[in-house]
Chains A and B, each alone.
Chain A
Amino acid sequence: MKPLVTFERVTLGYGRRVIQRDLTFSIEQGDYFGLVGPNGAGKTTIVRAILGVLKPLGGEITFQTATGRAPVIGYVPQRDSVNLILPYTVGEVVMMGRYRKLGLLRRPGPADRVAVNASLEHVGMTGARDTPLKELSGGQRQRVLIARALVTNPDLLILDEPTNGMDLSSKSAILDLIARLHEEDKITIVMVSHLLDDVANAVRRIAIVDRDVLMVGSTGDVLTPENLTKIYRRDVRVGTLEGSTVILSGRRRGDL
């Protein structure tokens, strides 16, 4: 597989404060890539760099698609970051995904409405088009935010904590939807999460980050008890149950 995003000795930070140093890894075209790590490890910083919102302090980030053009990146934020005071409808929220393309002066036309409807159909939310986003459940809101990212026809879809705070049923449905987008629509996926089990059982390749650590590889190679114990400073165990990876944390390492 060819790389879609390549980090070459990239240093990231805010002002003089360095968060990550000398990051070198790539996300392949057609990848299903997991980005995990403890809170504050720098996952969001890496995502902001991929999105182009944060310029690297050093090194280079390059993008390459099959056609040679710059990739379109769809972004799905954490649900809690969305301000729900104004009751925007699902249709209005998904249409926001087209705003960049529309510019300031052009009004949404039939093609935009078709794209919005197709996106909603893709995530199984067609019937909710006129419902305010704030009236939906967490899982439904997540689907709508995914639909808004899909309306841009992305080459790469980045999802920030897509299953955080969901019940088992909603979580499984969202993970199934993401898997379908990857397998059927051939969209490259980057899933950022602190929920190791969710990522371990969904992605093909994984990067685990901490302050001065970056490990990239297959889930089997990276998610080992030794690596996780080192990063989380706890006695972490990794096993399988009916074919699924199960990760259990034990006592703090200092207590061992």
Chain B
Amino acid sequence: MGISDAMTTLVGEFPYALYGSVLVGVLCAVLGVYVVARRVVFFGAVLTQVSLLGLALTFVPPLDVLGHTGGALSLTAIVALLLSGLFSDRKVPRDAVLGVVFVSAIALRMLVLQKAQQVEVAEVENLMRGDILFITPGLFLFTLLLSVAAMAFMLLLARPFAFMGLDPETAEAQGFRARRWEQAFYLLIALVVAAATHLVGDLFVFGFLVIPPVAGLLLAKRVRGIVLVACLMGLLCPIIGLVIAFILDVPATPAIVSTAAVFLLVAWILNRSRH
């Protein structure tokens, strides 16, 4: 299969795979800039696993009334708020707290799915991985609305987020309530990660929270430039990755994330050659 055949098949038969992966790619890449800048990258990885646990719990009555998306969003938001509180506890290091939640979420998910015997294993695996090729219009629309809300929120709060990220001590001294802004930031990330993980899977979401921002840091000299590079990668890598997946007949998500990794390698080489 050639590139044009792959594109034709993709646009004709799997349009929501294209739209969904680009949407999540751009959104995670932009938010990822602030996640990487705040040194809470592992927080993104933890939330993807918590989101999957939330989704798994909805296979068990009576939590099934929440629906898969509702379960993932609710649990991820609750855990994100709890984590933002635990981060201020200086007795336990932040990465240790995240590690505990990470392994606990995976272990609990395994137990929950083991006991939820009424569902097909293949169905569960598809939901867990976020099968890109079978994104439904409804789920895409929901994620699109959430993304628009998240970006509007991000733009509205861009100044306090930037100030808190650069210098929380002085921001607090100027009257910005550090705790409240931290919670708002983590809640925003949690909602986006939960919805995006349900749509495209944990590997995709975590990959795009990290890889495009790091490439941006390597290539751009200004904050706007970093956001722009990350945004472009979020836009291009899913399209290129999907085309490669069709041509080589390989799974879509690993192809997309690998494409982003290759972009990052190129960015690193360009950065090295500049210095």
Supply 10 A–B pairs (Cβ within 8 Å), ascending by A.
A75-B173, A77-B170, A81-B169, A89-B222, A96-B171, A99-B159, A99-B174, A104-B157, A104-B159, A132-B222
Compute how far the CA of A13 lies from the CA of B217 in the bound complex, rounded to whole angstroms: 40
A87 touches B159 (CB 8 A): no
Compute how far the CA of A107 lies from the CA of B171 in the bound complex, rounded to whole angstroms: 18
Partner of B37, one of A86, A97, A105, A132: A86
B159 touches A88 (CB 8 A): no
Cβ of A51 under 8 Å from chain B: yes
Cβ of B223 under 8 Å from chain A: yes
Cβ of B172 under 8 Å from chain A: yes
A87 touches B221 (CB 8 A): yes
Task: Known A93-B166, A102-B159; judge A75-B221 contact (CB<8 A).
Answer: no
A-B contact count (CB 8 A): 76
Compute how far the CA of A70 lies from the CA of B98 in the bound complex, rounded to whole angstroms: 42
Cβ of A92 under 8 Å from chain B: yes
Compute how far the CA of A86 lies from the CA of B165 in the bound complex, rounded to whole angstroms: 9
A99 touches B170 (CB 8 A): no
A82 touches B159 (CB 8 A): no
Q: Which A residues touch B223, using CB under 8 A? A: 86-88, 92
Cβ of B36 under 8 Å from chain A: yes
Cβ of A256 under 8 Å from chain B: no
B169 touches A77 (CB 8 A): yes
Taken residue by residue from 159 to 195, chain B's Cβ proximity to chain A (1 for < 8 Å, 0 otherwise) reads as 1101101110111111110000000000000000000
Distance of A44 from chain B, by nearest CB (Å):
9
Beyond A81-B167, A87-B221, A92-B223, 12 additional contacts (C-beta under 8 Å) are A75-B173, A77-B169, A83-B37, A83-B165, A86-B33, A86-B37, A86-B165, A86-B223, A96-B162, A99-B163, A99-B174, A148-B170
Q: Which B residues touch A83, using CB under 8 A? A: 37-39, 165-167
Compute how far the CA of A76 lies from the CA of B163 in the bound complex, rounded to whole angstroms: 14
Partner of B167, one of A51, A73, A82: A82
B162 touches A100 (CB 8 A): no
Distance of B188 from chain A, by nearest CB (Å):
15
B221 touches A132 (CB 8 A): yes
Cβ of B31 under 8 Å from chain A: no
A100 touches B176 (CB 8 A): yes
Distance of B59 from chain A, by nearest CB (Å):
40
Partner of A86, one of B159, B169, B175, B226: B226
**B:1-52 near A, CB below 8 Å:** 33, 36-39
**B:215-240 near A, CB below 8 Å:** 217, 220-223, 226
B36 touches A85 (CB 8 A): yes
Distance of B229 from chain A, by nearest CB (Å):
13
Cβ of A53 under 8 Å from chain B: yes
B174 touches A86 (CB 8 A): no
Cβ of B156 under 8 Å from chain A: yes
Chain A residue nearest to B226 in the complex (CB): A86
**A:113-150 near B, CB below 8 Å:** 132, 145, 148-149
